[in-house]
Chain A
Amino acid sequence: MKKFLALFLVMLLFTSVAAAQGIGTPEAPVQVTFLMKDVMPEEIDTVAVMDAYEKGLAAQGKYVDIVVLEAPAGRYVDVVPLAFRTGEINPDMIYFQGNTDAPVVNEGLLVDLTEYINNSEHLKNLLGDHSKMRLDNYPYLVWAAPASVSVPAIRKDIFAKTKTGEALLADPTVDNYLAFFRDLKESGLAKYAVSEDGSTGRMDSYFNHAFGVDSTIMKVGDKYVYSMVTDAEKAKLEFYALLYKEGLLDPDYITKTWDTMEQSFYEGETALITGRAGDVVQVYNTKVLSMYGDEGELKALPPAKGESQAFRSIDVTKEERGIAINADSPKEVQDAAFAILDFAASPEGRMIDLLGVEGTHYEIKDGVITFLPQKDAYWSRFFPTIDGLPEGLKLSKPVMSEPAVESLALAKEYYAQDLNVVLPEEMQPLYQAARSVYNEYASDFVRGVRTFDDWAEYVEKFNSLGGDQLSEYLATVIK
């Protein structure tokens, strides 16, 4: 009798646990509405992906019905936040970008994902350290993607013709970078070594750490200041001024926009191009391959070595974009929504998201996955990361081209975390004013319109127009 009772209790426990894990039933799956940028409900690929996800989840006892909502026409960042905040649209899962989520969070409309992530099966393993830190600070948006690191790249055929290229790769000091740039120009391989789109942001990505610009906010003495007024920044700007003077930096860099900057690179006027590791490098690579053939393939370059070596520090205050879950949705739906996201992070989910559906986007011949023509027009509907695929997959063609993968590896190797603070609304005008001063003076220093004798004057102006007050505030907020 006791044995029977014990067995019965164990079975009861087992089924209740199993029931707790399951979601919905085959007859009544939980409906989850999903709003994502550029994902349309009637697209063949979208339907295929969602179907595959539903099947995959069903196999785990989670029965969901993913309903993709039509994204509004017009700019996503203009239309969606307004429509969501006023209740015009009410998806269970919703994508935000461009920092338009903060006001929504302030109203308590998004779910705090901390517990979900901690209890997740796959997401917490897939997320990079930067993503985890961001979720610690701001647990409302989840986004599995590599950190947005800008990596410099150069065409292999141009690189091969330089004399200093190998030395640069072996020991990428600032001096070697300088020699490399000079080499490019003197050998006539390009008119300029580097160009920019309006500011020095791209060069900053791989020169900041070499000069000691470690983070957005740095401690100088016992004060917290923005890096824009530190001596490290000055040293870096002096280097840029040298590049400008020697004609290694495109003199039109101030008026160039991202497309004219890219144009300059494609034409061969500029030798280096800097773009986000992974997807953007991929786009650049595809373009140069089509223009210059296989020798034009890109080679990613490491960040400069100096005080330290890393790519520009990555902000961890919050995700800039990501998927959130609607706090007004019933708990059951929230659970289902997160289950979908966790599945998207699982090996099976990654495989569908990145590679597509078997038979439509690829077929398996002799254990090797070969892509079908339909794959060329396919892109992932959930997360952009290429991590998390099942082990031991053999692909006929890599998911991302080699230069893109290389850039991602470099980004990971030379990752550094930023120190920054989200300023309250009242301080925004001060920050904007100080930043304007920096932008103006930095551009003047680099172009030689001002000499560095004016540096003290610049710091003085920066501080009086907001820098001092900001530092005071930072002291109270940063522990």
Chain B
Amino acid sequence: MSSLQAKPERSRLQRALRQMRLDWVLYLLLAPTLAYFIVFRVLPIWNMRLAVYNFSGRRAWTWAGSKYFDLVFSTPLLFDILRNTLIISFMKYVLLFPFFALFAILLSQMQHRRLRKLTQVVSYLPHFLSWVVIAGIWISFLARDGAVNQIGTMMGLAPVDYMTSKAHIRWVLLLSEAWRSLGWDSIIYFTTIIAISPSLHEAAEIDGASRLQVVRYIVLPALVTPMITMFILNLGFFLNAGFDQVLNFTNNAVNSVIEILDTYIYAIGINQGQYSLATAVGVIKGFVGVALVLVTHFISKRVTGEGVW
């Protein structure tokens, strides 16, 4: 028993317990939030077992097995529906994604303070409109004799009926989504930009950096973290693709290329009170979403060192 061994090696567990005791205030602060999730999330998620039962409000639930999952997957149009869902999600969560940061950068570059503030306020407005209203606005924008085609004919282009064109409709979804969200979804990036230490800006000015160089070497690096976070989080909702929007923009001419999972479920469960079916879809989306987030999080951690946490 040499006295060189001052203390016995502590096990991982003991070290952990010690840390927890030190951090007891933190756990206390976290407790209400965790309590919320346990009561209002975990318990309802336990109720999601409804997906394999037939719902009854007053009597016991009877076992339904995979019946409702079969309803989701037995549609002859499954391939088309999944294809549409993935393409539209890709367009919104990958293609459109960088433009929010771009918009924030442009905003921060505006020297005209009043105009910038006006732009901010006005660009946030469409976010508050329901898709019913936005569809009404866009349908008349894009009508054969609407604003877009009028400008097009002035430039010598033939008028196109965008809303009934299978080739164009997905881009219409993308652009209307951009129109609606550009302002609002860029807020996070804008707050990140203005939080960049002014001393960095001063240093760059002293070094004679051009505007573009400032953006490249100061602004963009600051945006990397929030962008990665947002990108990974959004991936969790990949199967959503925008039910409200598609429902309001679709019509018989183009439905086959924009029918997504949620609108299909709506069509077969419509008004029937198919609670189990809706729950089954929630289960599917949950598993897929978690898988996507975890995979991209770990890949991102490997590659860039940043993830969601």
For B252, list chain A residues within 8 Å (CB): 198-199, 254, 439-440, 442-443
- Kindly specify which of B187-195, B198-206, B268-276 makes contact with the partner chain: B268-276
* Contact bitstring B145-184, A, C-beta under 8 A = 1, else 0: 0000000000000000101100000000000000000000
In the assembled complex, A163 has its CB within 8 A of some CB on chain B: no
Given that A251-B144, A254-B164, A433-B75 are contacting pairs, would A85 and B271 also be in contact in the complex, using a CB cutoff of 8 Å? no
Q: Is the beta-carbon distance between B57 and A86 smaller than 8 angstroms? A: yes
Given that A99-B271, A465-B76 are contacting pairs, would A107 and B56 also be in contact in the complex, using a CB cutoff of 8 Å? yes
In the assembled complex, B139 has its CB within 8 A of some CB on chain A: yes
- Least CB distance from A463 to B in Å reads 11
Q: Is the beta-carbon distance between B76 and A433 smaller than 8 angstroms? A: yes
Q: Is the beta-carbon distance between B58 and A85 smaller than 8 angstroms? A: yes
Q: Is the beta-carbon distance between A85 and B268 smaller than 8 angstroms? A: no
In whole angstroms, what is the CA distance A77 to B270 when docked? 11
In the assembled complex, B38 has its CB within 8 A of some CB on chain A: no
- Least CB distance from A129 to B in Å reads 26
- Least CB distance from B168 to A in Å reads 13
Given that A98-B271, A198-B252, A252-B144 are contacting pairs, would A86 and B58 also be in contact in the complex, using a CB cutoff of 8 Å? yes
In whole angstroms, what is the CA distance A257 to B55 when docked? 35
- Least CB distance from A77 to B in Å reads 6
- Least CB distance from B215 to A in Å reads 41
Q: Contact partner of A102 among B59, B67, B272, CB < 8 A?
A: B272
For A443, list chain B residues within 8 Å (CB): 164, 251-253
For A198, list chain B residues within 8 Å (CB): 251-252
Q: Is the beta-carbon distance between A440 and B272 smaller than 8 angstroms? A: no
- Least CB distance from A200 to B in Å reads 9
In whole angstroms, what is the CA distance A105 to B129 when docked? 38
In the assembled complex, A396 has its CB within 8 A of some CB on chain B: no
Q: Which of A433-468 contact B (CB under 8 A)?
A: 433, 436, 439-440, 442-444, 447, 449, 464-466
Q: Which of A167-202 contact B (CB under 8 A)?
A: 198-199
In the assembled complex, B259 has its CB within 8 A of some CB on chain A: yes
Q: Is the beta-carbon distance between B255 and A255 smaller than 8 angstroms? A: no
In whole angstroms, what is the CA distance A170 to B271 when docked? 43
In whole angstroms, what is the CA distance A104 to B163 when docked? 39
For A84, list chain B residues within 8 Å (CB): 57
For B213, list chain A residues within 8 Å (CB): none
For B76, list chain A residues within 8 Å (CB): 429-430, 433, 464-466
In the assembled complex, B244 has its CB within 8 A of some CB on chain A: no
For A98, list chain B residues within 8 Å (CB): 271
Nearest-CB residue, chain B, relative to A438: B252
* Contact bitstring A102-116, B, C-beta under 8 A = 1, else 0: 111001010000000
In the assembled complex, A432 has its CB within 8 A of some CB on chain B: yes
Q: Is the beta-carbon distance between A436 and B273 smaller than 8 angstroms? A: no
Q: Is the beta-carbon distance between A85 and B139 smaller than 8 angstroms? A: no
The range of chain A's interface size is 35 or more
Given that A255-B139, A436-B255, A436-B256 are contacting pairs, would A425 and B273 also be in contact in the complex, using a CB cutoff of 8 Å? no
Q: Is the beta-carbon distance between B273 and A85 smaller than 8 angstroms? A: yes
Q: Is the beta-carbon distance between A81 and B273 smaller than 8 angstroms? A: yes
Q: Is the beta-carbon distance between A103 and B272 smaller than 8 angstroms? A: yes
Q: Contact partner of B255 among A429, A440, A464, CB < 8 A?
A: A440
In whole angstroms, what is the CA distance A464 to B271 when docked? 27
Q: Contact partner of B259 among A428, A436, A442, CB < 8 A?
A: A436
Given that A102-B272, A251-B144 are contacting pairs, would A425 and B71 also be in contact in the complex, using a CB cutoff of 8 Å? yes
In whole angstroms, what is the CA distance A252 to B57 when docked? 45
In the assembled complex, B303 has its CB within 8 A of some CB on chain A: no
- Least CB distance from B263 to A in Å reads 10
In the assembled complex, A82 has its CB within 8 A of some CB on chain B: yes
Given that A85-B58, A425-B71, A428-B71 are contacting pairs, would A433 and B253 also be in contact in the complex, using a CB cutoff of 8 Å? no
In whole angstroms, what is the CA distance A428 to B68 when docked? 12
In the assembled complex, B77 has its CB within 8 A of some CB on chain A: yes
Point out which of A77, A100, A109, A432 has the most chain B C-beta atoms below 10 A from its C-beta.
A432
In the assembled complex, B74 has its CB within 8 A of some CB on chain A: yes
In the assembled complex, B39 has its CB within 8 A of some CB on chain A: no
In whole angstroms, what is the CA distance A109 to B252 when docked? 38
In whole angstroms, what is the CA distance A254 to B252 when docked? 7
For A426, list chain B residues within 8 Å (CB): 67, 70-71, 74
In whole angstroms, what is the CA distance A77 to B271 when docked? 7
* Contact bitstring A295-313, B, C-beta under 8 A = 1, else 0: 0000000000000000000
Q: Is the beta-carbon distance between B271 and A429 smaller than 8 angstroms? A: no
In whole angstroms, what is the CA distance A292 to B164 when docked? 34
Q: Is the beta-carbon distance between A429 and B139 smaller than 8 angstroms? A: no
For A436, list chain B residues within 8 Å (CB): 77, 255-256, 259
- Least CB distance from A435 to B in Å reads 9
Q: Is the beta-carbon distance between A100 and B271 smaller than 8 angstroms? A: yes
In whole angstroms, what is the CA distance A255 to B253 when docked? 9
In the assembled complex, A87 has its CB within 8 A of some CB on chain B: yes
Q: Which of A57-101 contact B (CB under 8 A)?
A: 77, 81-82, 84-87, 98-100
In the assembled complex, B103 has its CB within 8 A of some CB on chain A: no
- Least CB distance from B162 to A in Å reads 10
Nearest-CB residue, chain B, relative to A101: B273
Nearest-CB residue, chain B, relative to A251: B144
Q: Is the beta-carbon distance between B163 and A255 smaller than 8 angstroms? A: yes
In the assembled complex, B264 has its CB within 8 A of some CB on chain A: yes
For B139, list chain A residues within 8 Å (CB): 255, 260
In whole angstroms, what is the CA distance A426 to B267 when docked? 14
Nearest-CB residue, chain B, relative to A77: B271
In whole angstroms, what is the CA distance A330 to B59 when docked? 19
Q: Which of B228-252 contact A (CB under 8 A)?
A: 251-252
For A464, list chain B residues within 8 Å (CB): 76
In whole angstroms, what is the CA distance A86 to B56 when docked? 8
In whole angstroms, what is the CA distance A236 to B274 when docked? 35
For A257, list chain B residues within 8 Å (CB): 136
For B67, list chain A residues within 8 Å (CB): 425-426
- Least CB distance from B163 to A in Å reads 5
For B70, list chain A residues within 8 Å (CB): 426
* Contact bitstring A251-288, B, C-beta under 8 A = 1, else 0: 11011010010000000000000000000000000000
For B274, list chain A residues within 8 Å (CB): 103
In whole angstroms, what is the CA distance A198 to B135 when docked? 14
In the assembled complex, B105 has its CB within 8 A of some CB on chain A: no
In whole angstroms, what is the CA distance A443 to B143 when docked? 17
Q: Is the beta-carbon distance between A432 and B74 smaller than 8 angstroms? A: no
In whole angstroms, what is the CA distance A466 to B274 when docked? 22
Q: Is the beta-carbon distance between A107 and B58 smaller than 8 angstroms? A: yes
Q: Which of A410-442 contact B (CB under 8 A)?
A: 425-426, 428-430, 432-433, 436, 439-440, 442
The 4 closest A-B pairs by CB, nearest first: A85-B57, A86-B57, A429-B75, A443-B252
Given contacts A81-B273, A85-B55, A449-B253, 7 further A-B contacts (CB under 8 A): A82-B275, A102-B272, A198-B252, A260-B136, A432-B267, A436-B256, A466-B76
Q: List 28 A-B contacts (CB under 8 A).
A: A77-B271, A84-B57, A99-B272, A100-B272, A100-B273, A102-B272, A103-B274, A104-B273, A107-B59, A251-B144, A251-B161, A252-B143, A255-B143, A255-B251, A257-B136, A260-B139, A426-B74, A428-B71, A429-B71, A430-B74, A430-B75, A432-B75, A432-B267, A439-B255, A440-B252, A440-B253, A443-B253, A444-B253
